[in-house]
A and B are shown apart, each in its own frame.
Chain A
Amino acid sequence: MHSSPLGAATSDNRPDEMLSLIVIRELKSLLLRPRFLVITLTTVGLISATTTLGIQEYHHDEAAFHNKVELNKEILRVHGHWHSYGWAQVFRAPSPLRIFVTGLDDDIGRRERLDRPGTVKLTDPKFAEEPVFALFRPIDVTFVVLYVISLLAIVLSFDAVCGEKERGTLRLVLSNAIPRTTFVFAKFVSMWLALFFPLLLAFLMGALLTTLNAIPFSTTDWVCFSALFGISILYVTVFLSFGLFVSSVVHRPSDSFMILLVIWVAAVLVIPKVATVAASKTTNVATISEVSSEAQTFRRNQQNEILLRRNATVDSIITTSRQVAEGRLSYEANQSWVDAAWKRQNDFEAQKEKEYAEFLQRLNERVDAQKARMTRVAMTLARLSPSASYQIASSSLAGNGINLKARFERAVEDFAVAHKTFADEKIAPAVNGTGQMEPFDVNQLPQFVQPVRPLSEVARDVILDAGLLALWALFGFAAAYVAFLSYDVR
Chain B
Amino acid sequence: MLGLLIAKEIREIVYSTKFVLTFGAMSVLILLSFYTGALNYQHALDEGEAAAAELEQDLQNRTSWIGVHASTYLAPRPLEAVVTGLSNDVARSKTVWVEPLAKDNSTRYSEEPVWAMFRAIDLEFILTVVLSLFAIVFAYDSVSGERERGTLSLAMSNSVPRSTFLFGKIAGTFAALFIPLLVPMLLGALMLPFLGVPMQGDDWLRFGLIIAAGGLYLSLFLVLATFVSSFVKRSSDAFLVLTITWIVLVAVVPRAAIYVAGRSVEVPSKASIDFELQKGRLVEFGKISSELSTFEQTHDFSELTREEFESTYDEFFGGLLAEQNRARTERMDRLFENARNRERERERLALLFARISPAASMRIVATTLAHTDVELVFDYEDAVRDYQKTYRQFVVGRAGNAAFTGRNTKPFEPGAKLIDPHDLPRPTFNRRTVASDVSKSLPDIAWLFLINLVMFACAFVSFGRSDLRQPPG
Contacts and interface: CB of A to CB of B under 8 A. Distances in A.
A276 B115 contact: yes
Contact of B17 (A38, A255, A270): A255
Interface in B105-135: 105-107, 109-110, 112-121, 130, 133
B110 A258 contact: no
Given A125-B105, A129-B270, A135-B373, A258 B86 contact: no
A21 B61 CA distance: 84
B29 A269 contact: yes
B374 A273 contact: no
A207 interface: no
B18 A71 contact: no
Interface in B352-394: 354, 360, 363-364, 367, 373-374, 377-378
A135 B363 contact: yes
Contacts of A255: 17-18
A53 B29 CA distance: 32
B57 interface: yes
A121 B255 CA distance: 30
B408 interface: no
Contact of A273 (B17, B43, B120, B347): B120
A57 interface: yes
B212 interface: no
Contacts of B54: 292, 296
Interface stretch (B154-162, B166-174, B271-279, B325-333): B271-279
Output the residue of A104, A111, A135, A137 with the most chain B CB within 10 A. Answer: A135
A128 to B, nearest CB: 4
B130 A125 contact: no
Given A53-B256, A64-B271, A288-B50, A296 B57 contact: yes
Contact of B243 (A46, A151, A269, A391): A151
Contact of B121 (A46, A262, A273): A273
A388 B119 CA distance: 12
B462 to A, nearest CB: 20
A128 B89 contact: yes
A312 to B, nearest CB: 11
B244 A42 contact: yes
B237 interface: yes
B282 interface: yes
A420 interface: no
A8 B151 CA distance: 41
Contact of A127 (B61, B109, B360): B109
Contacts of B255: 53, 136-139
B117 A402 contact: yes
Nearest to A289: B50
Output the residue of A34, A148, A275 with the most chain B CB within 10 A. Answer: A148
Nearest to B357: A136
Interface residues of B, number: 87
A269 B106 contact: no
A262 to B, nearest CB: 5
A270 B32 contact: yes
B295 interface: no
A68 interface: yes
Interface string B183-206: 000000000000000000000000
Contacts of A87: 278
A134 interface: yes
Contact of A292 (B29, B50, B351, B360): B50
B75 interface: no
B414 interface: yes
A226 interface: no
Given A132-B347, A132-B374, A289 B53 contact: yes
Interface stretch (B3-11, B217-225, B259-267, B310-318): B259-267
Given A57-B259, A289-B53, A132 B351 contact: yes
B77 to A, nearest CB: 17
A46 B21 CA distance: 30
Contacts of B113: 104, 107-108, 375, 402, 404-405
Contacts of A152: 243
B107 A128 contact: yes
Interface in A354-409: 371, 374-375, 378-379, 382, 388, 391-392, 395, 401-402, 404-405
A326 interface: no
Given A135-B373, A265-B25, A288-B50, A124 B270 contact: yes
A489 B294 CA distance: 102
B271 A53 contact: no
Interface in A59-115: 60, 64, 67-68, 71-72, 74-75, 78-79, 87, 104, 107-109, 111, 113
Contact of A109 (B50, B106, B247, B351): B106
Given A123-B104, A378-B114, A401-B117, 12 more contacts: A35-B240, A60-B263, A71-B272, A104-B113, A124-B105, A132-B374, A258-B137, A276-B120, A277-B36, A289-B53, A378-B117, A382-B118
9 contacts: A78-B279, A109-B104, A128-B106, A143-B251, A270-B28, A273-B121, A287-B43, A292-B54, A299-B57
